[in-house]
Amino acid sequence: KIKLDYGPLYHGKRQDPAMKKWRENRFGQFIHWGLYSIPGGVWEGKTYGYAAEFLKASAGISTERWNGLKDEFNPTEFNGKEWASMAKAMGAKYVCLTTKHHEGFCLWPSKYTEFDIENTPYQKDLMKEFVDAYSEAGIDVYLYYSVLDWYHPDWRTKLKTMDDVEAFERFKTFTQNQLVELLERYPQVKGLWFDGTWDQCWKDNGKFSYELEVLLKEKRPGLIVNSRLRADDFGKRHRDSNGDLMGDFESGYERRLPDPRDTSVTKNDWECCMTIPENQWGYHKDWTLTHQKNTNELLEMLAQCSSQGGNFLLNFGPNGKGVFRAEEKRIAREIGEWMKTNSAAIYGSDYAGLKKQDWGYFTKNTKSGEVYMIVFNVPISYQLRVELPKHQTISKANMVGIGQELQLEKFDSNETFVLLPPKSYTSPFVIRLELKANKKSQ
Ligand SMILES: C[C@@H]1N[C@@H](C(=O)NCc2ccccc2)[C@H](O)[C@@H]1O
């Protein structure tokens, strides 16, 4: 092992109540909302297909013109309670809102910059309304914060000169001040989701990122931070120079999932963040440009994450007025419908320790020990294969919801077919398994 002064604060999975709640939540709503939500990927009549939150770059817009968008930010239709009830109906147990994306515009009134909500026609502390509404709805609130800040004069990608180093020292102080300010202003917040920490400037400041994690966790005991905050002594990110995870959960799965058969991911807590279009985090006016994931696709991703001991953070991008697009509202409703019947297989679930099968995913409820089969691919044989450890056997299998008991057919030493009634299955469904210890094998 390489000796590190600025590696992880601890090893393994946190078992404190705050982290256990994070793990039980399993399903969250990501919200990207900022000045980029106003143009929505269209500039001077031209539509740009690249991610809408990067329109400034993809449309080559001048800094002053882009920053002028703050004088247009007036989300008069924003209603925190409505947003929270949509998330509640979807079945999200936590939410993560972009307080400041790479553009540097702050959705909260910050003492440390003029580029914030206070200096817009809207003026009000939108973040307070948001945090209060979601907290009152029983949804845990996390805050996304981009270290990368295109607006701040002291941001440097690389530290090439002494001037750069001095500027970046001021930038580090600014960053720390803003983060402490967020924790002080919004005491309900459960964690911080860092982004924009891939540049050399941050890799060169592993010590600072370590001390920042310590400081924030002292300020807010139980605080949860993602793996993107940290760099180690040698500039390694997410995992240190020994391959150990830094931060409280691995957050490298952005718009991608691990291989469903990869059991190594179960060693740490992790989260996949996902867009509904191929690559749009901020609101984009034209979703026809790329594939839009449908509800069944998204449910399968949610099921896969739970089956491998990870969380699924699904992104929504409201427009500049604070309104979600129709597609997002429909998907939220359809996911919520499915969760009404099947959420026992998701909330409080974890890796079941059973061999992955083609028909779908196993999950295991950590409290009840109940094992679930979440079925997406019904085989032409209508036989769902289950391979159990030698000492276990299935005593019962029931469809969740309708409760129907399913026939079982044991074969070989440790395989069982759960037999489905031969009919058409048009949406994913869940089977609850009751397992029992085998009689002493003869
Ligand atoms: C969670 C996502 N991370 C941001 C992202 O992809 N940043 C990477 C990036 C930064 C700069 C140019 C292109 C791409 C996206 O905008 C989302 O916030």
Per-residue pLDDT tens digits for 282-341: 999 999 999 999 999 999 999 999 999 999 999 999 999 999 999 999 999 999 999 999
Q: Is the pLDDT of residue 369 over 80?
A: yes
Pocket of ligand 1 (CB under 6 A): 51, 53-54, 195, 254, 273, 281
- 285: which residues sit within 8 A by CB, 6+ positions away? 40, 41, 42, 47
Closest-CA residue, ligand 1 atom 10, reads 196
Nearest alpha carbon to residue 229 among 203, 201, 194: 194
- Count Cα neighbours of 250 within 13 Å in the Cβ-side half-sphere: 24
- Ligand 1 center–CA 221 separation, angstroms: 29
pLDDT higher than threshold 50 for residue 222: yes
Look at ligand 1, atom 3, and give the residue with the nearest C-alpha.
195
User: Atom of ligand 1 at shortest distance to CA of 53?
Assistant: 16
pLDDT value of position 438: 81
Q: Give residue 333 CA to ligand 1 midpoint distance, Å.
A: 27
Ligand 1 atom closest to 273 (CA): 1
| 157 C-alpha to ligand 1 centroid (Å) | 15
Helical packing angle, 162-185 and 206-219, nearest 10°: 20
Percent of the chain beyond pLDDT 70?
99
Give the residue-averaged pLDDT of 163-168.
Answer: 98
> From the CB of residue 391, how many other CB atoms can be counted at a distance below 10 Å?
13
- Angstrom distance (rounded) from CA 328 to CA 332: 6
Q: How far is the CA of 272 from the centre of ligand 1 (A)?
A: 14
Q: Is the pLDDT of residue 442 over 50?
A: no
**Quick one: pLDDT at residue 98?**
98
- Residue 437: strand pairing partners: 392
Q: What is the pLDDT of residues 248-296, one digit of tens each?
A: 999 999 999 999 999 999 999 999 999 999 999 999 999 999 999 999 9
Give pLDDT tens digits for 14-23.
999 999 999 9
Q: Annotate 393-413 with b (16+ C-beta within 10 A) or e (fewer).
A: bbeebebbeeeeebebeeeee
Q: Are strands 349-350 and 360-365 parallel, antiparallel or unpaired?
A: antiparallel
Residues listed for the chain: 442
CA triplet 99, 102, 106: central angle to 5 degrees?
Answer: 35
> What is the model's pLDDT at position 331?
98
**What's the token pair of residue 406?**
């399913």
What is the pTM (predicted TM-score) of this model? 0.97
Pairing verdict, β 392-399 and 383-387: unpaired
Q: Whose CA is nearest to atom 9 of ligand 1?
A: 196
Banded model confidence at residue 128, pLDDT cuts 50, 70, 90: very high
Q: Which of 389, 394, 400 is nearest to 428 (CA)?
A: 400
- Which ipTM value was assigned to this complex? 0.93
Q: Tell me the pLDDT band of 412, cut-offs 50, 70 and 90.
A: confident
Distance 329 CA to ligand 1 centre (A): 24
Backbone phi and psi for residue 181, each to the nearest 5 degrees, phi listed first: -60, -45
- The answer to whether residue 245 scores a pLDDT higher than 90 is yes
CA of 54 to the centre of ligand 1 (A): 8
Q: How far apart are CA 212 and CA 220, in angstroms?
A: 12
Q: Which among 436, 389, 395 has a CA at the least distance from the CA of 418?
A: 395
